[in-house]
Amino acid sequence: MESGGSVANPFRAGLPASKTAGPSSIIIFGASGDLTARKLVPALYDLAVDGLLPRVAILGASRSDMSDDAFRASLLEGVAQHARHRPVDQALWSTFAASIHYQAVAYDDAASMKALAMRLMAIDQTHAMAGNHLFYLSTPPTVFGPIVRNLGVAGLATPGDGLFARVIIEKPFGVDLATAMALNREIREVLSENQIFRIDHYLGKETVQNLLVMRFANGIFEPLWNNKYVDHVQITGAEVLGVERRSAYFERAGILRDMVQNHLLQVLSLAAMEPPGSFEADAVRNEKVKVVQALRPIEANDPLGRVIRGQYASGSILGDSVPAYRDEAGVQPRSTTETFVALKLFIDNWRWAGVPFYLRSGKRLPKRVTEVAFHFKAAPHRLFKNAKDSIGMEGNVLAIRIQPDEGIALSIGAKVPAASMEIAPVSMEFRYASSFGRDAPAAYERLLLDALSGDGTLFTRGDEVEATWRFITPIHEAWAASTEDPEFYEAGTWGPRGSVDLLRQDGRSWRRP
């Protein structure tokens, strides 16, 4: 059960019934970090502007010493720069900021966490909160376990009757299968699975969610969503940026951990899953897990046939010269960390048997874009044999653009206006901004609202995390045992030659988003 509140709330006028939550305190660990100022608090502010935010108090907690007023001032600066609704509504901000507080805390010290619990109790009383608590771990993963353990010691992990205590955990959730399993065990000693919300902001993006709506709310698509009609699927996560200031993290992670293990495999599982029995959290997540578990393993002793590892060399991005990855500040001169990866995957089940799923992700590519593209089989008989046919044997493509310019495009063949028979591809497009007259809300808005209301549908369950690592870890083990360098590619291009050959050997090619 969730607690309700009778105190008037100026923010929640437009809150849908399915997303109701009682008054709640949100405790952000790592509150002095970049994520809080750029994403979390702007998202909460935007929810408040839209009338969707339940009545909340916010307690920032991190190692730094800071006053409440200094914390509020830093958050206002972040909201002014990063919120959807700009300029800042000063009257609304004043109301919003009055519920924001700050407490210095040592994450691995039980006494410090007990002091935070006392402060939280006082805040709950001051703002007439019901005792519901949502903890957000925006910290280095090394302290996930100590924070959760000390929440238990301080009595904050066990809610009272009719109340909730939930914990949102940022990625990365482990660095391989062994560490993910160990972290799951450590956290579950304190929390039940329904209290844990492992966040991947990709699942909060409107177009990712629209994969489910497009498939299961429209009778036209689902009959075609199988190996009888789909030739292959391409999933691309491309970035123009290099490692920027994240070299210390990226040297340990690489693009396979940073993008594929979480973001792209999440997109894959939603795109390929079976219809769930209902749109309830466990029903949806059960089907997602089945997809990952059905991925054909890539063995540690022979990953190279279906995995291409690349690293960017110097080149030009949007007319500007950029250095090679090995020349970036903080990167080892002989680093073998991959900045690009392409994979050929198979889902060994009846729906997708024989259909290759090609995934690629990389840095310093020509364009920032994330999309999933379904390439359908060509018409079985070429009726217009003598026509000039630009569609040829490529078939139709349904592309779901996740970022930027969120939308969906379907390419079909159409006759070119002319005396002769000439067929050319045309695109039928839907874009969120033009169709609905506004940009899609930020991913963190949806995810924070879901966590407050207890909806875990768009969060990753523990068995799914372990399933993705079970698939990914052998690739890392093979690379660790190899003495070969990654295949280098010029910055500003679409990756190494091996990525092109991965599809060319199958008679296919990457689409240019």
For the annotated catalytic residues, the residue numbers are: 263
Structure tokens at 354: 């024989």
Residue pair 261/469 in contact (Cβ under 8 Å)? The answer is yes
Q: Which of 225, 304, 250 is nearest to 484 (CA)?
A: 304
- The DSSP secondary structure of 56-91, one letter per residue, reads EEEEEEESS---HHHHHHHHHHHHHHH-SS-S--HH
The CA distance from 154 to 104, in Å, is: 16
Amino acid identity, position 458: L
The CA distance from 398 to 235, in Å, is: 12
The CA distance from 332 to 50, in Å, is: 47
**CB environment 453-481: b (16+ within 10 A), e (fewer):** bbbbbbbbbbebbbbbbbbbbbbbbbbee
Measured at the CA of 274, the angle between CA 271 and CA 276, to 5 degrees, comes to: 110
Residue pair 367/239 in contact (Cβ under 8 Å)? The answer is no
The CA distance from 228 to 377, in Å, is: 8
Residue pair 229/366 in contact (Cβ under 8 Å)? The answer is no
The CA distance from 365 to 492, in Å, is: 5
Q: Phi-psi bin for 20: left (phi > 0), alpha (psi -120 to 50), beta?
A: beta
Q: Phi-psi bin for 364: left (phi > 0), alpha (psi -120 to 50), beta?
A: left
**CB environment 191-218: b (16+ within 10 A), e (fewer):** beeebbbbbbbbbbbbbbbbbbebbeee
Q: Sign of dihedral through CA atoms 24, 140, 78, 266?
A: negative
